[in-house]
Amino acid sequence: PLVLGIESSCDETGVGIVRGDTLLTNAVSSSMEEHVRFGGVIPEIASRAHLDAFVPTLRQALDEAGVTLEDIDAIAVTSGPGLAGALMVGVCAAKALAVATGKPLYAINHLVAHVGVGVLDGGKLPENLGALLVSGGHTEILRVGSLTADVQLLGSTIDDAAGEAYDKVARILGLGYPGGPAIDRLARQGNPKAIRFPRGLTQPKYMGTAEAPGPHRYDWSFSGLKTAVARCVEQYEAAGQELPVADIAASFQEAVVDVITSKAVLACTEQGITNLLLGGGVAANSRLRELTAERCAAAGISLRVPPIRLCTDNGAMVAALGSQIVMAGGEPSGVDFTPDPSQPVTSIQLPAA
Ligand code: ATP
Ligand code: MG
Ligand code: FE
- The per-residue pLDDT for 39 is 85
**Which atom in ligand 1 lies closest to the alpha carbon of residue 161?**
3
174 dihedral zone (left: phi>0; alpha: psi -120 to 50; beta): left
17-26 pLDDT tens trace = 999 999 999 9
223-232 pLDDT tens trace = 999 999 999 9
Which range is least confidently modeled, 33-42, 164-173, 224-233, 273-282? 33-42
**Which atom in ligand 1 lies closest to the alpha carbon of residue 82?**
4
**Binding region for Fe cation:** 110, 114, 313
Which residue in 83, 247, 230 sits closest to 168, CA to CA? 230
**Cα(313) to centroid of ligand 2, in Å?**
6
Q: Is 80 in the pocket of ligand 1 (CB under 6 A)?
A: no
**Which atom in ligand 1 lies closest to the alpha carbon of residue 41?**
7
Q: Is 306 in the pocket of ligand 1 (CB under 6 A)?
A: no
Does 353 have pLDDT greater than 90? no
326-344 pLDDT tens trace = 999 999 999 999 999 999 9
- The per-residue pLDDT for 190 is 97
Amino acid at 48: R
Q: CA-CA distance, 258 to 188, in Å (whole number)? A: 16
Amino acid at 265: V
Q: CA-CA distance, 189 to 228, in Å (whole number)? A: 21
Query: Which residues, in sequence order, are CB contacts of 235 under 8 Å at separation 6+?
Result: none
Question: Average of pLDDT values for 160-181?
Answer: 93
Q: CA-CA distance, 164 to 40, in Å (whole number)? A: 10
pTM beyond 0.90: the answer is yes
Compute the Cα dihedral for 106, 112, 117, 118 and give only its sign: negative
* pLDDT grade for 258, boundaries at 50, 70 and 90: very high
Task: Considering every ligand atom shown, identify the ligand nearest to the alpha carbon of residue 181 and give its number.
Answer: 1
Tell me phi and psi for residue 96, to 5 degrees. -60, -45
* pLDDT grade for 115, boundaries at 50, 70 and 90: very high
Task: Considering every ligand atom shown, identify the ligand nearest to the alpha carbon of residue 282 and give its number.
Answer: 1
**Cα(147) to centroid of ligand 2, in Å?**
23
Q: Is 139 in the pocket of ligand 1 (CB under 6 A)?
A: no
**Cα(248) to centroid of ligand 2, in Å?**
25
Which amino acid residue places its CA nearest to atom 29 of ligand 1? 180
Length of the chain: 353
Q: Is 281 in the pocket of ligand 1 (CB under 6 A)?
A: yes
Task: Considering every ligand atom shown, identify the ligand nearest to the alpha carbon of residue 283 and give its number.
Answer: 1
Instruction: Determine whether 196 is exposed, middle or buried from the number of CB atoms within 10 Å of its CB (0-12, 13-18, 19+).
Output: exposed
